[in-house]
Structure 1
């Protein structure tokens, strides 16, 4: 009986001593599972953040591309154009820039702002120049189509360039009444032919501006790739200052 009792007590003690070991293993497994879940959540969050930033950058790049190409179309136009698409694109540029600024990171947002300002300035300048010459383009088109009021005013304007004579005010009213020009276009055309300067600032050739903006856009794309194509947790190289 004593031997059996001792054996039972020994077995019972071994079982009791084994309980803490099992608990310790379980705690370690639970902690490892929590850490793995936390790492997975962080990676998923980083990936989601990068995707949001990438989408913002893509929308901005597309808006810049459209603005540059529209400016290139407006610049050599030989007929009066509707400039409403240009106004819409300028607003789109500001809107997509705002999203990039909200999403970050700071280096991308700052570079996007410099690109937006430069492209917006060029597009606004091209549109302003087109508004200045649009009355002449519209008058020429109407004259070529045989509009009498446009023909008479155009002859007078050409004669004024040679002799400096004053244009009959009735001619301005005639082209407005005929729907050739708007009152505002008449004002612009009159100012132009009176020799009043529209801007005293030197102008950079459009081709140089266009190329400069293209290069700036390529630098922006390179920075976006450098910042957003790096796997989560990997170090990022600093953006190029070129």
Structure 2
């Protein structure tokens, strides 16, 4: 009996000790499953966010590309152009920048802000310069086509006594009535002519050559693309702070943005 009792007692003790061990194993398995599920959810969220950031970056890059090419077309134009596409592109630049800023991260947003500011300033300046010379281009085109009214006004503006002779108001009205210039373009030419008569017309301010600006903007855009690529290539499981440290080494400050027209 004693042997049977001891055996039964030993079996009971082993069973009691086995319960906590099973619980521990179960808890560990549950925790591992929960951590795996959390990791999968975080990876899916990170992938979704990266997809959004990629789309935002692509839209921004395309807007910058279009703005740069339009500025290059406007710059040497020898005829009056419609500047409405330029206005639309400037708005598109601001819109796509806002999406990049919302999606983040900060390193990419800062890069985009520097690029947008520089490119927008250059495009705006090119458009302003073209707007200023558009009346002269339109008048020249009409004169080359043989329009008598345009020829008469062009001779008066470019003649030897152009800087000392006032132009009759009727001639200004004639170019509008003939459809050569719009009232606004005529007013711009008249103000410029009067400023020349009064000695208030100054020379153009020195500016950075457009070719250098264009190349600088291209280089800045390339740096932005490199930062976006580095971010998207980083492992999805990398903690956000590690990502920030990784990008800090290649971060391009917006303070170093290329110089634009002055």
Q: Could you tell me the TM-score, scaled by structure 1's length?
A: 0.88
2:196 counterpart of 1:185: no
In structure 1, the gaps of 5 or more residues are none
- Measure the CA separation in 2 of the matches of 1:198 and 1:27: 84
Q: Does the CA contact (< 8 Å) of 1:226 and 1:239 recur in 2?
A: no
Correspondence list, 1:1-242, <5 A: 15=15, 17-159=17-159, 164-194=164-194, 195=196, 196-197=200-201, 201-234=205-238, 235=242, 236-237=246-247, 238-241=249-252
CA distance in 1, matches of 2:213, 2:187: 30
114-123 or 192-201: bigger deviation: 192-201
Larger RCO, structure (CA 8 Å, separation 6 or more)? 2
1:201–1:233 CA distance, 2 compared to 1 (3 A): farther
CA deviation after TM superposition for structure 1 residue 192, in Å: 2.8
* Per-residue deviation, 1:57: 1.5
Deviations 1:188-207 (A, max 9, x none): 11233342447864221111
Residues 11-44 of structure 1: per-residue CA shift (max 9 Å, x gap) = 6665555443333322211111001111111122
Structure 1 residue 214, shift from structure 2 partner: 0.9
Q: How far, CA to CA, are the matches of 2:19 and 2:98 in structure 1? A: 60
Instruction: From the superposition, tell whether residues 114 and 161 of structure 1 become closer, same or farther in structure 2 (CA, over 3 Å).
Output: farther
Counterpart Cα distance in 1 of 2:250 and 2:158:
56
Alignment RMSD (CA, Å): 2.5
Offset, 1:224: 1.5
Between the aligned partners of 1:18 and 1:163, the Cα distance in structure 2 is 108
Q: After superposition, what is the alpha-carbon deviation per residue over 1:30-68, rounded to whole angstroms, capped at 9, x for unaligned?
A: 111001111111122122222222221111111111100
Q: 1:198 to 1:222 in 2, by over 3 A?
A: farther
Give 1:228 deviation, angstroms. Answer: 2.5
Whether the aligned pair in 2 keeps the contact of 1:160 and 1:166 (CA below 8 Å) is: no
The range that moved more, 36-45 or 191-200, is: 191-200
Instruction: Tell me the number of residue pairs that the alignment of Structure 1 and Structure 2 aligns.
Output: 242
Contact map agreement 2:107 2:251 (CA 8 A) in 1 = no
Equivalents in 2 of 1:199, 1:223: separation in Å?
Answer: 42
Give the TM-score taking structure 2 as reference length: 0.82
Provide, for residues 125-167 of structure 1, a one-character-per-residue CA deviation record: whole Å limited to 9, x for no partner. Answer: 1001101111111111122222222122122222256563221
Q: Secondary structure at the match of 1:212?
A: helix
